[in-house]
Structure 1
């Protein structure tokens, strides 16, 4: 593309005449050519390629065919020297641009291009092995406008390197091995406007020679050996220079009044240096600067005065640095700023009002920063919502890193109350028994509303919040407080979540949804945790770490919804201070299922249970009425009960409901598919007393959701008391059952001793252990006999 300016005039003239045809040279064995642009021919061949191409193009031109070539790009194979005789074959073609490369050319013969000097405007000798500028070959190219000597082995430029090409405006000597530029080297190039010196070994002292290039507008000295501070005289005074590239060097700082001689500079690129300090008034002489790239450096802070004079700056790139915060001072004088790039820093705080004057930003990148979403970020959150010209992708990249309960939340969707929910609570009053938790939750509850109609449902719910005044629903401040009460029924935690279950009193058929939960440890501040609009009976809190030795107080705010799903009132309440229980692990055998025609014969015939010293509760249940395939032999009863046997089948749509109670409170429940012999084990129990109840549920069709709760710590007793009971068993029946218990136990003992087989039992019986103390430390099963009400 560097030669397109030289050939553009020819392209316009010839295209107006007739359609251009690419010369066909692919059939020739020594030169294969193709065309990718009009009037541009790209060829590859051996040392005879230039002769073949020149002869063919002259023949085409003589036949007046529309095959005129303005730019010829040739890659030669095995050529180390470029003789004038080879180039002379191109005379008479009317070339405006010529590029010759082989990867091996080390020498260009004197006067090599004299035969085409009349028309040649652009010359390229890139990707070769030239040790110096081929001055003697270029001397007579008085009309040459562009010269490309990139990717060679040139070590130095002297005062005679460019003699005779005084009309040159573009020079590319990138990716060479330049270490020295002699004074006066650019003096012959009085019209030079673009200079590429990228990828050499130049030091700051070598840049002094640039002062002779008075009319330079674009200078690239990236990827050199430039080091130290960028000071006022790092680059000599060039009053016409507009674009300067200093990237990929090792500059360490930017001094006050840096680059003072470049008063017309509009673009400055300092990408990928080692800059860690910007002194005050560092750019005081660069008032015309519109683009500043300071990315990939080591900048920790930007003072208010370091950018003060950049009143015309539109693009500022500070990405990939170590900035820790963003305040208003560095940006207050940048009135024309349209792009601010801050991604990949260490920014955790953005001051309120830092971006107030820049609501018209068209780009703002803040991703990959550890943003702390506290009250100080409320101003930034509102600015994001009000920045109408900012792309949605930039807004979506501004997410919270801390605190944990807001991790990943979109800052633009967070209200001030949600950001400020941990403020100004006196820790001394937390332990006060008269402390009003309802008032706390009224003060710090988030004011947000579900805006799923605008943004769609989100699973975590954190980024679906907006300010109340932006919604067409009543704010929580306007909602009346309901007289309904809310009671904490259950709480437990595991490695990832905390589960809360709340109940409304009195019960209601209306829909309720959670809008806020606070959790406070003894002596600690209430912490607001997102509850994601969940139903009160199943609230899951993520990001809340539970200390098993601490007591917690949970408070909740519920919205009561009307028939049109609009909030109509608030229900507030707190649970008692209590320890949160760890979820109990359990293992249950799940057998294969089969269909049994007669279900009326099903009943629980036997329940046995025990708790070991390690806290493992094991319950063995026998169910009568389930047919089993005839085994090849009959196992002893003790083996059939204690060892899972896959020969026993289970029923479809039949469940054994097992409940464990302590002092009348349910501590664990499990629904297990029916099987003739079941063994259920649960961990986390200590010695009782407990009630263990089992019954048949014949019509359960929904999916099983077991409730697993570790019981409250209880004092150990001498023996494990176990029962099995049903809710509809009245007091009289319990008395009768207790009376029959003695008779049944006696009969069981007698029958087992005489007949060595299990006893049959009557229906409607609670399960109670025989009060016989254990005689050895090993766990023993207490036989509990009864039948269940079907």
Structure 2
């Protein structure tokens, strides 16, 4: 008997602890009574447990098979966080959370909820975060969120909400709302001013992944305190300065995955306080010089996944001297990065050039003053001396964390590069000298081309009029050209070589106007002292 009483006493002492933890904690759940936290993620539950510690403050039942929320939730009035995401909830009965007046976060995302009403969230006076992302909601009824007077973040993204389905008074009562997600819905236009009027203190607006196509001027003007605007995947082909009228003070802008043929430099130039810009996955081929002029406060820049981008000019970021982080990744057609592209960015700490088409990168492309991380991996880099010098610089800079593409073959060392550089200098010197010589010859010819053409013309005439012996002989059968005098200089008469018998006849014809005496059988002029042949010379040699 004494033994039985002893066992009963021991059970009385330990059962309360067991009841508050082990006995009431479902299998595959983790219950922490000290932190008042219960986590049943992937616990294969189909209903909300009702035997948990009623004092728990955090209840996470993600990735289960719950189809309905019944009155069991009301047993846990001390909850500050309830996560029922990734279940099979189809609807939420009215006043389900009427006793959760301490709840601050409610996550109902990625369920099958098709509608919410102005009675769904009654009692949630302290709620700060409401997540309805990834459901089937197509209509927001008037006054739906009126009970949520302290709500700061509302996520309606990835639903089926249309421009018509977003009621004019849908956000009525949300005077403290700071973050609003409307992305990945079926909006065709930006909601009108009346829709945003109740939430004019909004700081972040996510409205991308909709078929907006274009945005009317001053569409966001009522949101004068907006600091972040996400317009990714909105099918936009252009924006103007009037698009951002009234929100010139935004600090973060996402224009990625649209249809821009060129960077909207003029529109961006009005956003003087912009610090964060993402503009990848568009259709432009070049980032031209001064594309981001006016953005003197820009600190973070992203350009990822642009299929058509081929070139970034070296002065592209010339006016953005306060840049601290640049990510230019996964642009496969980008092969041209001009030297010194980032050299003027003295505050650049993080640079990623991963997975592009760069074949050559060298150390002169950037300033090394503040650099802390560099990623140049997954590029088809030529393992040449330029890359060797860059790697050497990275390896010797202990403060820099880097990720580089490996070389499948031998990478030239410093001595090899110096030899190659010296050899290339000599080759270049010879080529430069040859080019200079050719240039000088061409210029000289061009300068004196008139004289040269005249000389060539006269030379051809003299050649045609000179003595040319046919067959190299001077016999009777030879043919030679005879230059005529007077007006006949331009003609050439070819005849047989002059014989001794023909000579006298030809001379008599040449001197037909004079009487020539005959001495010793020869004409008198042959008796002159300068005649030393015994027979007359041909007329061509006189």
Same fold (TM over 0.5): yes
Q: Does the 8 A contact of 2:383 with 2:411 survive in 1?
A: no
My pick for the range that moved more, 293-302 or 339-348, is 339-348
Q: Find the structure with the greater CA-based Rg.
A: 2
Q: Which residue of 1 aligns with 2:342?
A: 331
Q: Distance in 1 between matches of 2:340 and 2:110?
A: 56
Q: Distance in 2 between matches of 1:86 and 1:235?
A: 41
SS of aligned partner of 1:215: coil
Q: Distance in 1 between matches of 2:278 and 2:359?
A: 26
After superposition, give the CA deviation of every residue in 1:193-238 in whole Å (9 maximum; x if it has no partner).
Answer: 122224322323268522322112222222332234x654554452
Deviation at 1:259, TM superposition (A): 1.4
Deviation at 1:292, TM superposition (A): 0.6
My pick for the range that moved more, 276-285 or 162-171, is 276-285
Q: Distance in 1 between matches of 2:297 and 2:161?
A: 35
Deviation at 1:285, TM superposition (A): 1.8
Q: Distance in 1 between matches of 2:400 and 2:335?
A: 23
Q: Which residue of 1 aligns with 2:248?
A: 239
Question: How do 1:342-421 residues align onto structure 2 when only pairs under 5 Å count?
Answer: 342-350=353-361, 353-355=364-366, 357-372=367-382, 380=390, 383-384=393-394, 386-391=396-401, 393-394=402-403, 396-397=404-405, 399=407, 408-410=409-411, 415-417=416-418, 419-420=420-421
Q: Does 1:42 align with 2:57?
A: no
Question: How do 1:213-362 residues align onto structure 2 when only pairs under 5 Å count?
Answer: 213-228=223-238, 232-233=241-242, 235-297=244-306, 298-321=308-331, 322-350=333-361, 353-355=364-366, 357-362=367-372
Q: Which residue of 2 aligns with 1:423?
A: 424
Question: How do 1:2-21 residues align onto structure 2 when only pairs under 5 Å count?
Answer: 19-21=34-36
SS of aligned partner of 1:417: helix
Deviation at 1:46, TM superposition (A): 5.6
Q: Does 1:82 align with 2:92?
A: yes
Deviation at 1:287, TM superposition (A): 0.8
Q: How many residues align?
A: 385
**RMSD over equivalenced CA pairs, Å:** 3.7
SS of aligned partner of 1:331: coil
Q: Does the 8 A contact of 2:111 with 2:134 survive in 1?
A: yes
SS of aligned partner of 1:423: helix
Q: Which residue of 2 aligns with 1:163?
A: 172
Q: Which runs of 5+ in 2 are unaligned?
A: 1-32, 431-542
Q: Does the 8 A contact of 2:68 with 2:89 survive in 1?
A: no
SS of aligned partner of 1:171: strand
Q: Which residue of 2 aligns with 1:744?
A: none
Alignment partner for residue 95 of structure 1, among 66, 83, 103? 103
Q: Which residue of 2 aligns with 1:31?
A: 48
Q: Distance in 2 between matches of 1:390 and 1:326?
A: 22
Q: Which residue of 1 aligns with 2:73?
A: 53
Q: Does the 8 A contact of 1:131 with 1:155 survive in 2?
A: yes
Q: Does the 8 A contact of 2:313 with 2:337 survive in 1?
A: no
Q: Which residue of 1 aligns with 2:159?
A: 152
Pair 397,137 (structure 1): closer, same or farther in 2 beyond 3 Å: same
Deviation at 1:315, TM superposition (A): 1.3
Q: Distance in 2 between matches of 1:305 and 1:295?
A: 19
Alignment partner for residue 193 of structure 1, among 203, 223, 227? 203
Question: How do 1:121-160 residues align onto structure 2 when only pairs under 5 Å count?
Answer: 121-156=128-163, 157=166, 159-160=168-169
Deviation at 1:413, TM superposition (A): 6.0
After superposition, give the CA deviation of every residue in 1:584-624 in whole Å (9 maximum; x if it has no partner).
Answer: xxxxxxxxxxxxxxxxxxxxxxxxxxxxxxxxxxxxxxxxx
Q: Distance in 2 between matches of 1:311 and 1:24?
A: 48
My pick for the range that moved more, 271-280 or 74-83, is 74-83
SS of aligned partner of 1:72: strand
Deviation at 1:249, TM superposition (A): 2.5
Pair 412,362 (structure 1): closer, same or farther in 2 beyond 3 Å: farther
Q: Distance in 1 between matches of 2:360 and 2:388?
A: 11
After superposition, give the CA deviation of every residue in 1:133-167 in whole Å (9 maximum; x if it has no partner).
Answer: 34332124222222121221111245433122121
After superposition, give the CA deviation of every residue in 1:643-701 in whole Å (9 maximum; x if it has no partner).
Answer: xxxxxxxxxxxxxxxxxxxxxxxxxxxxxxxxxxxxxxxxxxxxxxxxxxxxxxxxxxx
Pair 39,252 (structure 1): closer, same or farther in 2 beyond 3 Å: farther
Pair 332,19 (structure 1): closer, same or farther in 2 beyond 3 Å: same
Deviation at 1:291, TM superposition (A): 0.9
SS of aligned partner of 1:227: coil
Deviation at 1:288, TM superposition (A): 0.7
After superposition, give the CA deviation of every residue in 1:375-416 in whole Å (9 maximum; x if it has no partner).
Answer: 66676466445544333x53x5364xxxxxxx6334676752
Q: Distance in 2 between matches of 1:379 and 1:301?
A: 23
Pair 413,150 (structure 1): closer, same or farther in 2 beyond 3 Å: farther
Deviation at 1:93, TM superposition (A): 5.0
SS of aligned partner of 2:144: helix
Q: Distance in 1 between matches of 2:39 and 2:418?
A: 75
Deviation at 1:258, TM superposition (A): 4.1
Q: Does the 8 A contact of 2:259 with 2:283 survive in 1?
A: yes
Q: Distance in 1 between matches of 2:413 and 2:247?
A: 46
Question: How do 1:683-762 residues align onto structure 2 when only pairs under 5 Å count?
Answer: none
SS of aligned partner of 1:364: strand
Q: Distance in 2 between matches of 1:349 and 1:78?
A: 53
Q: Which residue of 2 aligns with 1:71?
A: 81
SS of aligned partner of 1:241: coil
After superposition, give the CA deviation of every residue in 1:551-585 in whole Å (9 maximum; x if it has no partner).
Answer: xxxxxxxxxxxxxxxxxxxxxxxxxxxxxxxxxxx
Q: Does the 8 A contact of 2:213 with 2:237 survive in 1?
A: yes
After superposition, give the CA deviation of every residue in 1:45-84 in whole Å (9 maximum; x if it has no partner).
Answer: 7666331121x225xxxxxxxxx31011235977544342
Q: Distance in 1 between matches of 2:342 and 2:129?
A: 45
The two structures have a TM-score, normalised by structure 1, of 0.43
Q: Does the 8 A contact of 1:345 with 1:368 survive in 2?
A: yes
Q: Does the 8 A contact of 1:217 with 1:240 survive in 2?
A: yes
After superposition, give the CA deviation of every residue in 1:227-270 in whole Å (9 maximum; x if it has no partner).
Answer: 34x65455445233222222233323214334123221111112
Q: Does the 8 A contact of 2:101 with 2:125 survive in 1?
A: no
The two structures have a TM-score, normalised by structure 2, of 0.61
Deviation at 1:316, TM superposition (A): 1.5
Q: Distance in 2 between matches of 1:295 and 1:24?
A: 37
Q: Distance in 2 between matches of 1:170 and 1:160?
A: 17
Q: Does the 8 A contact of 1:360 with 1:390 survive in 2?
A: no
Q: Does the 8 A contact of 2:143 with 2:169 survive in 1?
A: no
